[in-house]
Each structure stands twice: as structure tokens, then as C-alpha cells.
Chain A
Amino acid sequence: MPPIIQIQNLTKKFGNLAAVDHLDLEIEEGEIFGLLGPNGAGKTTAILMLATVIKPTEGTALVGGFDIRKSPDKVRGLLGIAFQEPKMLWVATPWDVVNWHAKVCGLSTEERKRRVKQVLETVDMWEPRHKNVHALSGGMRKRVEMAKVLIQRPKIAIVDEPTTQIDVVGKHKIWNMLLELRDEGSTIILATNELYEADRLSDRVGIMHRGKLLVCDTPKTLKDSILGGDIIDIQLEKDASPTIVEELKSFKEVVDIMQVKPTNLRLYLNRVEEVVPQIMNLLMKKNVPVNSIRMSEPSLDDVFAHYTGLTIEEAQKDEG
């Protein structure tokens, strides 16, 4: 079966700035595809082009077999989007927003009556359904935005940072909704800068930085692709000197060292059980007191850092 989305050389320039730079990507039907990157990486611009909201400067994409340039009306018929910033009618209630959206998407009156209630209850917005949107918190507005996609049940759902401003309980609810939507047959593009979210939900992840797609695969393959299967985070009492960093690098098991903060070192290494005592001995011999030491497996954060040389927070600041 051909991929449901085939992006070919997709580019969007604003003046001299390439917000999306020659993007090539294929998304399979029925998968949750995580588009991961810091703010300003080009995720939203790529999504807006796929949704035919803005026109590409170069390249194109086939969505469900329809070219976004040649058949934008047909493409829009397949898509549903939950935007990063809730796009509400500027004076309305959650009930109005969801009901009108359902109407535009062609739901019959009977089905609409039933589904609006059902979906608003799912996102915990039934109680405040007649409140003015201005009176809603950021999290509540975000849930109304999600409700639009849930009621539409589109063939391809695009959700742009669905859980920002949402508390932990709310996050879990939205994640479950996305998984259910996928199980009902929708293909989902999840644009996010939350690594845990991408890791937990996505069948495959594409990492974007400065408009380019750096790497794309399953979260497991990406994590396994980092040299050094283990990670230790060492917090020192004082700033780590360049000499001590060099000495740590001299261990043959240590693949890479990242100085997260002046006092915090992250070591990517192999055979952690054997090498940690040696590292501790070295630090004690050099009179470098250790506050804490923590072992972990690589996360997508490490994958991002591996490919960009930056943590996602640093990349965010960089884009800012």
C-alpha cells in the first residue's frame, strides 16, 4: 500500500528564511507519526502546507493520493487539524465551536446532537459548554481544539502540540484520545516539542531542526542508533574542569560527553557496570566531589542532542 502522505522536496521561504527546507518524508496509513523539534523548527509551517492553508515555495506533497497544489479541496476533505493555538470563533462557546465544526464537516443533525455531547464529555468540557471562550483557561481551550478533531474523525488528523498548557491528568487523557483515534483508523501527525510525548505515542518519529528533517525512524531504532547504549548523569559539587572532561573521555568505554551545565556531565558509554567504579575512583583521586550520579537509557532527548549537538531547550533558545 502506498504511503498516505508523500512529501517531496517541500520548501517554504519567508524572505530569505527557509522555514521548511526541502523536506522529504513518507507517512504510512494508520500510524502515529511524531514530528519532533523545538519551537521554530518548521513543524507548524510544514503542517500548514500539508493542510493547504499556505502555499509551498517549492516542492509538493501527495495527501491520500491528491496533490496539495493541484487538488487542495480534495486534500482538505481528508484532513482535520487541532492547531497549536486554539483557533476559535472569537466570541463563542465550546458548544458553538464544536457543533459548527461538525456541521461544516458534514455530520447529520441527529449524529451531531449525539456526538457533540459525547465528545465534549470526553474532553471534560460538557459542564462549561455554554461558557464564553474568553472565560476558559488555556488548557480548556486546547481541549476544545482537540474536540474538533475527535468529532470529525478525519482520515488524517494533524495535532500540533496538543498537550501544551495541559496538566498531567489532562495530558494522559489527550494521549488516550489520540491512541483511540488511531485505533479507529485515522493516521495521525503529532507535532510536538515534548520528547516524552513523541516517544510514548509515535510509531515513527521525524526530528526537525531549522527547517530540515534530520532523521526519521521508530523511537527504538533512533535510540539504538546512538553510540554508547548507556547514559550516566554526574552532578559535581564544583564546575567540571576541561582536564577532568578529557580524562573521562580517555576511558575506552566512554563514547561521548556532554556538559549539560558547568557542574553537570552526561556520559554516553558502554559497559556501565564496569566503568562507573573506575570513574568514581578517578574523580575521588582528582579530588572532585560528586553530588549525585544517575544511570539511564537513552531517550529521544539524547537522540535530538546526538543529531544537533544541542538539547531541545538549547535549540529552543537558539531559535528564539
Chain B
Amino acid sequence: MSAILHIIEYDVRNFFRYKWWLVGLISMNLADLFIMAIVYNQMLSSDVMKEIGSYFNFFAPGLAVTGLFASAFMIGREVNMERRREVHHYMLSLPMTRMELAIGRVLSGGMRGMIYMSPLLLTCFIFLRFPTIWQLLVILAVLFLLAMGISGLSIAIAVSTSSLEKFITARGLVYYTLFFCSSVFYPLSLIEGLGKDGKFPMVLVTLAEVNPLSGASDMIRSFLLVGYPPFSYASILNVVVFSAVFTFSAAFAYIKIIERK
């Protein structure tokens, strides 16, 4: 257990070495929220606006999930870089089990996601409303599970790709697929409607429905937005499954692939 804590310390301290860069990114995220809200409130059709009320209110939880995703994914870039610079030889030589090392990396990626997302989530609370204690605990638990899954996904990609270019390409594919087919930027009902009208492939509609990013965004909205449809518990199950699959994939990939060379 102490070995896992040391690995978390290693990764979280590395994360905070970029503190001013992170502050800049969070500020840019918040600026994006306000600018997009002003622009999109004018651009969206009245049908959509009737459903979501205000784009600021709709997008703020989505932005928190976006921030969580981007920062939890950063651990993969570091693992990939460590592998290319052979720093992983040092990590693998430390007196700890491979499982402790892998779990430590996944957990720290998740924690970094939560740290980065905190100011964005706080913004939601300030501008929408504060949740009850239970709602807050559910939000934090689900988002931490999601962050772990994202961290695991990025580590699995990082140890499976030999170069930074390949890692960045894979990251781009994952980013755009998961964000495009989700309710982070637009309501799920809009995607489902387009699917029924044959304007959107049904496979992508299904992906948007089971996407853990949709589940997490809609859960926060259902707690913070008055009149927003209640979230389905199945969406939490999606997050749990996503987290479990990628946490173990990452641990397995880290242990098996990284020792080969």
C-alpha cells in the first residue's frame, strides 16, 4: 500500500510542477465556457434552447467532464515519454510489485484528473446550484471512477504505442470519438433524434448512449439543473464498467508490455 502512495506522490508532484501552465489552461477553459455560452445561446434552434434553457448551464457540467478527461489522459503522455527515455527501467527496478506500480499510476492519473477538474466543478456549483452532500458524494465518486478509467485507457495506449506521434494520433482518435458521440456538447435527445431521422449513424447514437462521458455529464446536470431529466442508474453502471475495464487493461498492459524491451 505504501508503494502505491509513493507512486501517487511521484505523479501528483510531477503534475504540480506545471502549476502555472495548469492555471492558464483552467482559465482558458473558463473563458471558453463564457464565450461559447454567449455565441451558442444565439445560434441554437429554439427547440434545443427550450430543452436546455441556457447553453452556459448545459455546457458547464460538460466542460468539467472535458477537463477531467484531458488531465487524466496526461498520465499516458508521461508514461509514453518515460518509456521512450527508458525512465521506466528505473520504475521497474524499484522494490515494489508490478501490480502496485500499475495501480499507483492509474490511481494517480485519476487523482490528477480530479484536481484539475475541481475549479471547473466549483464553477458549476457557483453558477448553477450547490448539490446536497449525498449528491456531491455521488458526483465525486462517479467522476473519480471515470477519471480512473480515462487514466487507465491512456496508460494502455501509452505502453502500446512506440512513439509520441503514434500516441498523439491515438489520443486524438479517442478524444474526438468519445466527445463527438456524447452529450458533453449537445443533448443526447438531439443525437437520438438525428439517428431516428437517419441523419446520424445508429452505431454512433448507441455509442453516445453508453458513453461514460454522457453518463457523467448528464448525472451532474440532473443534480444541478432544475427540470433536467433524472439520470438513469444504468449510466453509472457504464462508468463503472468503463473504469473497471480500462483500469485492468492498463495494469495488464503496463505489466506485460513494458517489460518486453
- A-B interaction: yes
Q: Is the CB of A52 within 8 A of B92?
A: yes
Residues of B within 8 A of A116 (CB): none
Residues of A within 8 A of B27 (CB): none
Interface residues of B in 11-28 (CB under 8 A from A): 13-14, 17
B138 on the interface (CB 8 Å rule)?
A: no
Q: Is the CB of B10 within 8 A of A55?
A: no
Residues of A within 8 A of B78 (CB): 90
Q: Is the CB of A54 within 8 A of B95?
A: no
A62 on the interface (CB 8 Å rule)?
A: no
Q: Is the CB of B13 within 8 A of A14?
A: no
What's the tally of chain B residues with a CB closer than 8 Å to chain A? Answer: 25
Q: Is the CB of B89 within 8 A of A76?
A: no
- Partner of B95 from the list A14, A53, A96, A104 (CB cut-off 8 Å) is A104
Interface residues of A in 229-283 (CB under 8 A from B): none
Q: Is the CB of B93 within 8 A of A90?
A: no
Interface residues of B in 65-117 (CB under 8 A from A): 78, 81-82, 85-87, 89-90, 92-98
Question: What CA separation (Å) do A227 and B39 show in the bound complex?
Answer: 89
B166 on the interface (CB 8 Å rule)?
A: no
Residues of B within 8 A of A106 (CB): 95
Q: A87-B86, A89-B10, A104-B6 are in contact. Are A77 and B261 (CB under 8 A)?
A: no
- Partner of B90 from the list A55, A83, A103, A105 (CB cut-off 8 Å) is A83
Question: What CA separation (Å) do A77 and B17 show in the bound complex?
Answer: 30
B259 on the interface (CB 8 Å rule)?
A: yes
A201 on the interface (CB 8 Å rule)?
A: no
Judged by DSSP, the binding face of B is helix
Q: Is the CB of A90 within 8 A of B95?
A: no
A319 on the interface (CB 8 Å rule)?
A: no
Q: Is the CB of B3 within 8 A of A81?
A: no
Q: Is the CB of A54 within 8 A of B260?
A: yes
B97 → A minimal CB distance (Å) = 5
Listed residue (B14, B87, B89, B261) with the most chain A CB atoms within 10 angstroms of its CB: B89
Q: Is the CB of A76 within 8 A of B6?
A: no
Residues of A within 8 A of B95 (CB): 73, 76-77, 79, 104-106
Residues of A within 8 A of B261 (CB): 14, 54
Question: What CA separation (Å) do A54 and B255 show in the bound complex?
Answer: 11
Q: Is the CB of B6 within 8 A of A83?
A: no
- Partner of B13 from the list A51, A76, A96 (CB cut-off 8 Å) is A96
Question: What CA separation (Å) do A52 and B96 show in the bound complex?
Answer: 12
Residues of B within 8 A of A53 (CB): 89, 92-93, 259
B51 on the interface (CB 8 Å rule)?
A: no
Specify the chain B residue showing the minimal Cβ separation from A148. B90
Q: Is the CB of B17 within 8 A of A76?
A: no
B9 on the interface (CB 8 Å rule)?
A: yes
Question: What CA separation (Å) do A227 and B3 show in the bound complex?
Answer: 54
Q: Is the CB of B81 within 8 A of A90?
A: yes
Interface residues of A in 36-69 (CB under 8 A from B): 48, 51-55
Q: Is the CB of A87 within 8 A of B90?
A: yes
A91 on the interface (CB 8 Å rule)?
A: yes
Q: Is the CB of B259 within 8 A of A54?
A: yes
Listed residue (A79, A89, A103) with the most chain B CB atoms within 10 angstroms of its CB: A89
- Partner of A83 from the list B17, B82, B89, B97 (CB cut-off 8 Å) is B89
Residues of B within 8 A of A55 (CB): 259-260
Residues of A within 8 A of B3 (CB): 104
Q: Is the CB of B97 within 8 A of A73?
A: yes
Q: Is the CB of A79 within 8 A of B93?
A: yes
Q: Is the CB of B96 within 8 A of A104?
A: yes
Listed residue (B6, B10, B17, B95) with the most chain A CB atoms within 10 angstroms of its CB: B95
Q: Is the CB of A100 within 8 A of B260?
A: no
A85 on the interface (CB 8 Å rule)?
A: yes
B204 → A minimal CB distance (Å) = 38
Question: What CA separation (Å) do A302 and B92 show in the bound complex?
Answer: 37
A88 on the interface (CB 8 Å rule)?
A: yes
Question: What CA separation (Å) do A222 and B38 show in the bound complex?
Answer: 82
Residues of B within 8 A of A83 (CB): 89-90
Q: Is the CB of A76 within 8 A of B86?
A: no
Specify the chain B residue showing the minimal Cβ separation from A97. B90
Residues of B within 8 A of A87 (CB): 86-87, 89-90
B18 → A minimal CB distance (Å) = 8
Which residues of B come within 8 Å of A, CB atoms?
3, 6, 9-10, 13-14, 17, 78, 81-82, 85-87, 89-90, 92-98, 259-261
In the complex, the 6 A-B pairs of residues with the closest C-beta atoms, listed nearest first: A87-B90, A53-B92, A77-B95, A51-B93, A76-B95, A91-B17
| 29 residue pairs bridging A and B, Cβ less than 8 Å apart | A14-B261, A48-B89, A51-B93, A52-B92, A52-B93, A53-B93, A54-B259, A55-B259, A55-B260, A72-B98, A73-B95, A76-B93, A76-B94, A81-B90, A85-B86, A87-B87, A87-B89, A87-B90, A89-B10, A90-B82, A91-B14, A91-B17, A92-B13, A92-B14, A100-B6, A100-B10, A103-B6, A104-B3, A104-B94
- Knowing that A52-B93, A53-B92 are A-B contacts, what are 17 other residue pairs whose CB atoms are under 8 Å apart, sorted by A's residue number? A52-B92, A53-B259, A54-B259, A54-B260, A55-B259, A55-B260, A72-B98, A76-B94, A81-B90, A81-B93, A83-B89, A83-B90, A87-B90, A89-B10, A90-B82, A104-B94, A104-B95
